[in-house]
Amino acid sequence: MVRGRLRVYLGAAPGVGKTYDMLAEGHRRADRGTDVVIAFSEDYGRTLTRRMAEGLESVPRRTMAYRDCTFTEMDLDAVLARHPQVALVDELAHTNIPGSRNDKRWQDVEKLLAAGIDVISTVNIQHLESLNDVVRNITGVTQRETVPDDVVRSADQIELVDMDAEALRRRMAHGNIYAPDKVESALANYFRAGNLTALREIALLWAADRVEEALLRYRGDHGIQQPWPTRERILVALSGGSEGDTLIRRGKRAASRGAGGELLAVHVERDDAIGSAAPGFLARQRDLVEELGGAYHTVTDDDPARAVLDFAREVNASHILIGATRRGRLKRVLSRGIGETIIEGSGEDIDVYVVTHAEAAHGRLLHRRTDPA
């Protein structure tokens, strides 16, 4: 049986319109002749969302008793028996009532996908497991319901439902999200402009990383070797010398010039142990890279220049920073150094910057761009 496809509408906060967009997509597919049902949708009394659900078939919910209270949940068995082409399943991170077939709704969704049913679902960024602590620190609210990041990352499509903080606060103030008696408290607490702006930024960055993952998979699947620089990704090549601190700080400044810039550092350990780096320098430089928000990597190869170039293309780097050579004039005349080899091998895909430092033999700043500019 062919596995169903998962599409997720991702939002930064309640009220941005995820459920509305899910239902609208259901209508678009139904209008094209696709068999679509609402397996579970929660409108929270929002008039526009409720109206959007009209005209779509809805599988009746299952009524369950728990602690002398009555609840309704998605009836997984009924949806499987109905077996539509597409099931609309709201609130992916929801925890089911004890006694349900599965503990979590995302596990119900997994059963639908395994049965060959396409699923369209929704989730807010604060419900992703890896961001639980981050969201609590920003909002002061601990999210009890979470979904593993891998569940969302594995979706065939993720669509970010975006809205700036002031627009969302206006929607709240107009009574389009919560009941009137809850609006004032929400605006003063969770829905403060600073909170919403931070959550939105987290959602944008998370979605951007997911797009980057898809791009890397596409390049790998199609055997594409040359980088596609979708953002500034600065790779600092560390030899293990004291000049590494200078290179790392220069790389961080370069990465910070553009939105979404990323700092990476790589050190190549040679198989033959020739020119081994001082462990103290590398340990300090690893700490500095991580302190500046970058990622430190070590690879092993007896050809450092080739290893740096291969790694740069693997991570889709847009620039490589290397230190100016410390070799004496005679050695430079007799043979090419690692820096020269990296420059020659970078082609037209990657810009190479050669940065001077106190230990350099010539004391000059070299800059080589591989593009016509």
Report the C-alpha gap between 56 and 208 in whole angstroms: 32
H or E element in which residue 65 lies: strand 62-66
Report the C-alpha gap between 332 and 68 in whole angstroms: 84
Looking at the domain assignment, is residue 10 inside a domain?
yes
H or E element in which residue 8 lies: strand 6-11
CATH of the domain at 296: 3.40.50.620
| Same-domain status, 243 and 217 | no
For 157-192, the pLDDT digits (tens) are: 999 998 889 999 999 998 889 888 899 999 998 899
CB-side neighbour CA atoms (13 Å) of 184: 1
| Same-domain status, 187 and 240 | no
| Sheet strands (E) in 68-213 | 69-73, 86-89, 118-124, 157-161
Low-confidence ranges of the chain (pLDDT < 50): 328-335, 361-373
| Same-domain status, 278 and 328 | yes
| Same-domain status, 203 and 240 | no
Buried b (16+ CB within 10 A) or exposed e, 200-232: bebbbebbeebebeeeeeebeeeeeeebeeeeb
| Same-domain status, 137 and 281 | no
Looking at the domain assignment, is residue 276 inside a domain?
yes
> Order of strands across the sheet with 36-40?
57-58, 36-40, 86-89, 118-124, 6-11, 157-161
Report the C-alpha gap between 302 and 365 in whole angstroms: 28
Looking at the domain assignment, is residue 227 inside a domain?
no
| Same-domain status, 265 and 194 | no
CATH of the domain at 133: 3.40.50.300
Can you tell me whether residue 87 is helix, strand or coil? strand
pTM score over 0.95:
no
| Same-domain status, 237 and 195 | no
**Final residue in a domain of this structure, among 221, 256, 285:** 221
| Same-domain status, 181 and 291 | no
Looking at the domain assignment, is residue 373 inside a domain?
no
Looking at the domain assignment, is residue 226 inside a domain?
no
For 257-312, the pLDDT digits (tens) are: 765 678 999 999 887 655 556 677 889 999 999 988 889 999 998 889 999 999 98
Hey, what are 137's tokens?
A: 């620190």
Closest CA to 326 of 338, 344, 313: 338
Looking at the domain assignment, is residue 1 inside a domain?
no
The total number of residues shown for the chain amounts to 373
State which residues form the domain around 185. Answer: 6-221
Looking at the domain assignment, is residue 228 inside a domain?
no
| Same-domain status, 270 and 133 | no
| Same-domain status, 27 and 71 | yes
| Same-domain status, 291 and 182 | no
What pLDDT sits at residue 236?
94
**Final residue in a domain of this structure, among 168, 200, 221:** 221
Residue 240 sits at φ, ψ, to 5 deg, of 100, 0
Report the C-alpha gap between 313 and 90 in whole angstroms: 40
DSSP state of 104: B
What pLDDT sits at residue 368?
44
What pLDDT sits at residue 222?
57
H or E element in which residue 281 lies: helix 279-291
Hey, what are 174's tokens?
A: 């107009």
Residues 6+ apart with CB under 8 A from 214: none
Report the C-alpha gap between 343 and 309 in whole angstroms: 9
**Final residue in a domain of this structure, among 159, 194, 221:** 221
| Same-domain status, 244 and 203 | no
The number of domains in the chain is: 2
Cβ(19)–Cβ(90) below 8 Å: yes
Helices 180-188 and 165-173, interaxial angle, to 10°?
Answer: 150
